[in-house]
Amino acid sequence: MKKLENIDKMIGRKLKSGVFYFSLLLGWEVVCRVFELPHYLLPSPTMIAIELVNTFPLLMSHAQVTMTQVMIGFLLAIGLGFILSMVMDRYQGLKNLIYPMLVVSQTIPIMAIAPLLMIWFGFGILPKVIVVVLVCFFPVTVSLTEGLSSTDHELIDLMKTMHATERQIFFKCKLPAALPSFFAGLRIAATYSVMGAVVAEWVGAQKGLGIYMTRVMKSYRTPALFANIVVIVVITLLFVLMIDMISKKCMPWKNNQRRIEERG
């Protein structure tokens, strides 16, 4: 009974937000038609939808290039972040040295270094991958480092009394304890990564959502620009969703919070 009620409530909530967003789109459509706004200023949702359908194969071929860069950069950032976090966890002195530098590095605007990377590494995929690595590396490393150092000290002490090795303490205790924080960082990195690749492409590329964006912008094809944005948003959401699914798989204990009452 209670379960059914909960599902009812959930559907009700979903319905409400659905109605809200639909009326928002409807309002947009009405404004465009009533005031007869020029397409290059603000295209109506239907026009964007039509553009999206018509240019879908083209958009997807650009998206493929962008997402390849995103994935390579994302995985590289995870690998590098893992190594650095492990090293900093092992050698606290090094951590005190590197950590502040890491934070300062975040104040460098990507827009400023993207052209520089292009000059150094050309128009190919490499400078874009580097930008993605740069934007993802920070959230991954910080979340993992914080996670590792948040491990309950008494738990580590307990393992020491069992004569656990440093290795066992890391893999059996610190790493699992760091997972929730790590995945929270991955989520942020996922959203940054697509944005990073797009921005890097603005500077110059053969193919990709970013360069396509600058092209349609130059010819004032605003509906195509909007279609492009929709694709970027949807891809980013799917990416985050994927991370959430993986994190659920990796942390099964987070799923069942139900308490079993003691019997007898």
Partner 1 sequence: MMMERIKLTQITKNYHMENGRVLETLKEINMVLYDKEFVSIIGPSGCGKTTLFRLMTGLDKPDGGEIFVNGQKRRETNEKISYMQQKDLLMPWRTILDNVRLPLEIDKEANPVSPEKMNQLFELFGLKGFEKAYPNTLSGGMRQRAALLRTFMVDSSMMLLDEPFGALDGITRSQMQQWLLDVWQKNQKSVFFITHDIDEAIFLSDRIYVMGGRPGMIVGEIPVDFQRPRTPDLMVTPEYLSYKAEIRNLLTLFPITK
Is residue 34 classed exposed, middle or buried when 0-12, 13-18 and 19+ CB atoms within 10 A define those classes?
exposed
Q: Which of 8, 152, 206, 220 binds partner 1 (CB under 8 A)?
A: 152
Burial environment of residue 228 by CB neighbours within 10 A (0 to 12, 13 to 18, 19 or more): buried
Q: How far apart are CA 60 and CA 212, in angstroms?
A: 11
**CA distance linking residue 105 with residue 84, whole number of Å:** 15
The nearest distance, CB 247 to partner 1, in angstroms, is: 12
Helix segments in the chain, DSSP class H: 2-34, 45-54, 56-90, 92-105, 110-121, 126-149, 153-161, 166-169, 175-203, 209-218, 222-250
**Looking at beta carbons only, is 179 or 217 nearer to partner 1?**
179
Q: Which amino acid makes up residue 159?
A: M
Nearer to partner 1 (CB atom), residue 184 or residue 251: 251
Is residue 167 near partner 1 by the rule CB under 8 A? no
Instruction: Give the one residue of 72, 110, 164, 184 binding partner 1; rule: CB under 8 A.
Output: 164
Query: How near is the Cβ of 18 to partner 1 at its closest, in Å?
Result: 33
Amino acid identity of 129? Answer: V
In the complex, what is the shortest distance from the CB of residue 173 to partner 1, in angstroms, rounded to a whole number? 7
Residues 6 or more apart from 128 whose CB is under 8 A from it? Answer: 69, 73, 197, 200, 201, 205, 208
Contact 196, 188 (CB under 8 A): no
The CA R_g of the chain, rounded to the nearest whole Å, is 24
User: Does residue 161 interact with partner 1 by CB under 8 A?
Assistant: yes
String of contacts with partner 1 for each residue 95-134, x by CB under 8 A:
----------------------------------------
Choose between 29 and 244: whose C-beta lies nearer to partner 1. 244
**Is residue 252 a contact residue for partner 1 (CB under 8 A)?**
yes
Q: Does 154 bind partner 1 (CB under 8 A)?
A: yes
If the CB atoms of residues 2 and 16 are measured against partner 1, the closer one turns out to be 2
Site for partner 1 in 170-199 (CB under 8 A): 172-173, 176-177, 179
- Give me the residues that bind partner 1 (CB under 8 A), please: 152, 154-155, 157-164, 168, 172-173, 176-177, 179, 251-253, 256-262
